[in-house]
Amino acid sequence: MIGSMSPTDPNAPLLPLRLHPGDDLRRALEQALAQQNVEAAFVLSGIGSLRPAVLRLAGAADALQIDGDTEVLTLAGTLGAAGTSHLHMSVADHQGRVVGGHAGYGCIVRTTAEVLLMLLPAWQFSREPDATTGYAELAIRRLINPGAAPC
Protein backbone atom coordinates (compact mmCIF):
# COMPACT_ATOMS: atom_id res chain seq x y z
CA MET A 1 0.00 0.00 0.00
CA ILE A 2 1.45 3.35 -1.04
CA GLY A 3 0.85 6.21 1.36
CA SER A 4 -0.77 6.17 4.76
CA MET A 5 -3.31 8.98 4.65
CA SER A 6 -7.00 8.14 4.64
CA PRO A 7 -10.09 10.36 4.37
CA THR A 8 -10.85 9.56 8.01
CA ASP A 9 -7.40 10.71 9.21
CA PRO A 10 -7.96 13.97 11.16
CA ASN A 11 -4.69 15.28 9.65
CA ALA A 12 -5.69 14.49 6.05
CA PRO A 13 -5.67 17.67 3.97
CA LEU A 14 -9.31 17.85 2.93
CA LEU A 15 -10.54 20.83 0.95
CA PRO A 16 -14.30 21.45 0.78
CA LEU A 17 -15.28 23.72 -2.11
CA ARG A 18 -18.38 25.51 -3.22
CA LEU A 19 -18.31 26.50 -6.90
CA HIS A 20 -20.53 29.30 -8.15
CA PRO A 21 -22.87 29.88 -11.10
CA GLY A 22 -20.90 30.27 -14.31
CA ASP A 23 -17.82 28.35 -13.10
CA ASP A 24 -16.47 25.67 -15.42
CA LEU A 25 -16.50 22.67 -13.07
CA ARG A 26 -13.31 20.98 -14.25
CA ARG A 27 -11.30 24.19 -14.71
CA ALA A 28 -12.38 25.50 -11.29
CA LEU A 29 -11.26 22.27 -9.61
CA GLU A 30 -7.89 22.36 -11.36
CA GLN A 31 -7.50 26.04 -10.38
CA ALA A 32 -8.31 25.22 -6.76
CA LEU A 33 -5.60 22.55 -6.82
CA ALA A 34 -3.06 25.02 -8.27
CA GLN A 35 -4.00 27.65 -5.65
CA GLN A 36 -3.14 25.12 -2.94
CA ASN A 37 0.28 24.58 -4.60
CA VAL A 38 -0.51 20.86 -4.82
CA GLU A 39 -0.06 18.64 -7.89
CA ALA A 40 -2.38 15.75 -7.00
CA ALA A 41 -5.76 15.23 -5.39
CA PHE A 42 -8.74 12.93 -5.39
CA VAL A 43 -12.29 14.17 -5.75
CA LEU A 44 -14.01 12.27 -2.95
CA SER A 45 -17.51 13.55 -3.60
CA GLY A 46 -19.37 16.14 -5.60
CA ILE A 47 -22.96 17.26 -6.13
CA GLY A 48 -24.60 20.29 -7.69
CA SER A 49 -26.28 21.49 -10.86
CA LEU A 50 -25.01 22.19 -14.36
CA ARG A 51 -26.12 23.78 -17.61
CA PRO A 52 -24.71 22.49 -19.88
CA ALA A 53 -23.13 19.18 -18.87
CA VAL A 54 -20.39 17.76 -21.09
CA LEU A 55 -19.68 14.03 -20.84
CA ARG A 56 -17.63 11.65 -22.94
CA LEU A 57 -19.38 8.32 -22.81
CA ALA A 58 -17.55 4.99 -22.60
CA GLY A 59 -15.75 4.19 -25.85
CA ALA A 60 -16.93 7.38 -27.56
CA ALA A 61 -14.55 9.67 -29.42
CA ASP A 62 -16.71 12.78 -29.07
CA ALA A 63 -18.36 14.34 -26.04
CA LEU A 64 -22.10 14.49 -25.44
CA GLN A 65 -23.39 17.95 -24.49
CA ILE A 66 -26.61 18.10 -22.48
CA ASP A 67 -27.92 21.64 -22.86
CA GLY A 68 -30.75 21.54 -20.31
CA ASP A 69 -30.59 21.74 -16.53
CA THR A 70 -28.95 18.72 -14.89
CA GLU A 71 -28.28 17.63 -11.33
CA VAL A 72 -24.85 16.19 -10.52
CA LEU A 73 -25.50 12.90 -8.74
CA THR A 74 -21.90 11.74 -8.45
CA LEU A 75 -18.49 13.21 -9.15
CA ALA A 76 -15.22 11.39 -8.47
CA GLY A 77 -11.75 11.05 -9.90
CA THR A 78 -8.20 12.34 -9.92
CA LEU A 79 -7.01 15.93 -10.26
CA GLY A 80 -3.63 16.94 -11.60
CA ALA A 81 -2.21 19.83 -13.58
CA ALA A 82 -4.53 21.25 -16.25
CA GLY A 83 -5.30 18.59 -18.82
CA THR A 84 -4.26 15.62 -16.67
CA SER A 85 -7.38 15.26 -14.53
CA HIS A 86 -9.65 12.24 -14.90
CA LEU A 87 -13.15 12.84 -13.59
CA HIS A 88 -16.23 10.64 -13.84
CA MET A 89 -19.66 12.10 -13.30
CA SER A 90 -23.30 11.06 -13.46
CA VAL A 91 -26.05 13.61 -14.02
CA ALA A 92 -29.85 13.48 -14.15
CA ASP A 93 -31.97 15.60 -16.46
CA HIS A 94 -35.33 17.22 -15.62
CA GLN A 95 -37.10 13.89 -16.21
CA GLY A 96 -34.75 11.93 -13.96
CA ARG A 97 -32.90 10.21 -16.81
CA VAL A 98 -29.34 9.49 -15.72
CA VAL A 99 -26.23 9.45 -17.89
CA GLY A 100 -22.61 9.19 -16.85
CA GLY A 101 -19.13 9.37 -18.28
CA HIS A 102 -15.95 11.41 -18.29
CA ALA A 103 -16.61 15.00 -17.15
CA GLY A 104 -15.27 17.39 -19.77
CA TYR A 105 -14.43 21.05 -19.89
CA GLY A 106 -17.55 23.11 -20.48
CA CYS A 107 -19.63 21.70 -17.59
CA ILE A 108 -20.94 25.04 -16.32
CA VAL A 109 -22.25 25.35 -12.77
CA ARG A 110 -25.92 26.39 -12.83
CA THR A 111 -26.61 27.13 -9.14
CA THR A 112 -23.91 25.45 -7.09
CA ALA A 113 -21.37 22.65 -7.00
CA GLU A 114 -20.24 21.27 -3.66
CA VAL A 115 -17.06 19.22 -3.90
CA LEU A 116 -14.76 17.58 -1.38
CA LEU A 117 -11.12 17.16 -2.39
CA MET A 118 -8.44 15.13 -0.65
CA LEU A 119 -5.16 16.88 -1.36
CA LEU A 120 -2.02 14.78 -1.83
CA PRO A 121 0.83 17.27 -1.31
CA ALA A 122 3.56 14.61 -1.42
CA TRP A 123 2.46 13.30 -4.83
CA GLN A 124 2.32 14.34 -8.47
CA PHE A 125 -0.20 13.03 -11.02
CA SER A 126 0.43 13.19 -14.75
CA ARG A 127 -0.65 11.28 -17.85
CA GLU A 128 1.71 9.14 -19.91
CA PRO A 129 1.14 6.93 -22.95
CA ASP A 130 0.36 3.33 -22.06
CA ALA A 131 1.23 0.84 -24.81
CA THR A 132 -1.24 -1.71 -23.42
CA THR A 133 -4.33 0.52 -23.45
CA GLY A 134 -3.34 2.99 -26.15
CA TYR A 135 -4.36 5.88 -23.90
CA ALA A 136 -2.54 8.39 -21.74
CA GLU A 137 -2.93 6.79 -18.30
CA LEU A 138 -2.25 7.96 -14.76
CA ALA A 139 1.40 8.22 -13.76
CA ILE A 140 2.00 8.62 -10.02
CA ARG A 141 5.21 10.04 -8.58
CA ARG A 142 6.16 10.76 -4.99
CA LEU A 143 7.74 14.17 -4.49
CA ILE A 144 10.97 14.27 -2.49
CA ASN A 145 9.95 17.62 -0.96
CA PRO A 146 6.38 18.76 -1.58
CA GLY A 147 6.54 21.80 -3.83
CA ALA A 148 9.79 20.54 -5.41
CA ALA A 149 10.41 18.62 -8.63
CA PRO A 150 9.27 14.96 -8.76
CA CYS A 151 11.67 12.12 -8.02
62-98: pLDDT as tens digits: 999 999 999 999 999 999 987 899 999 999 999 999 9
Q: What is the pTM of this model?
A: 0.87
Is 5 within a domain?
Answer: no
- The mean pLDDT of the chain is 91
Is 40 within a domain?
Answer: yes
Is 7 within a domain?
Answer: no
Is 2 within a domain?
Answer: no
Is 150 within a domain?
Answer: no
Q: pLDDT confidence of 27, banded at 50, 70, 90?
A: very high
119-136: pLDDT as tens digits: 999 999 999 999 999 999
Is 46 within a domain?
Answer: yes
CATH number of the CATH domain containing 138: 3.30.1330.80
Q: pLDDT confidence of 32, banded at 50, 70, 90?
A: very high
All residues at 6 or more sequence positions from 146 whose CB lies less than 8 Å from its CB, including other chains: 38, 121, 122
Question: Based on the structure, what is the number of domains in the chain?
Answer: 1
pLDDT at 83: 82
Look at residue 4 and tell me whether its pLDDT is greater than 50: no
Runs of H (alpha helix) within 22-70: 25-35
Taking the C-alpha atoms of residue 126 and residue 39, their distance in angstroms, rounded to an integer, is: 9
- Percent with pLDDT over 70 in the chain: 88
pLDDT at 10: 55
Q: Which domain holds residue 37?
A: 14-142
Is 70 within a domain?
Answer: yes
Helix or strand (DSSP H, E) at 104: none
- The stretch 17-32 carries a mean pLDDT of 97
Is 4 within a domain?
Answer: no
Q: Can you tell me whether residue 28 is helix, strand or coil?
A: helix
pLDDT at 82: 74
Beta-strand pair 109-119/98-103: unpaired
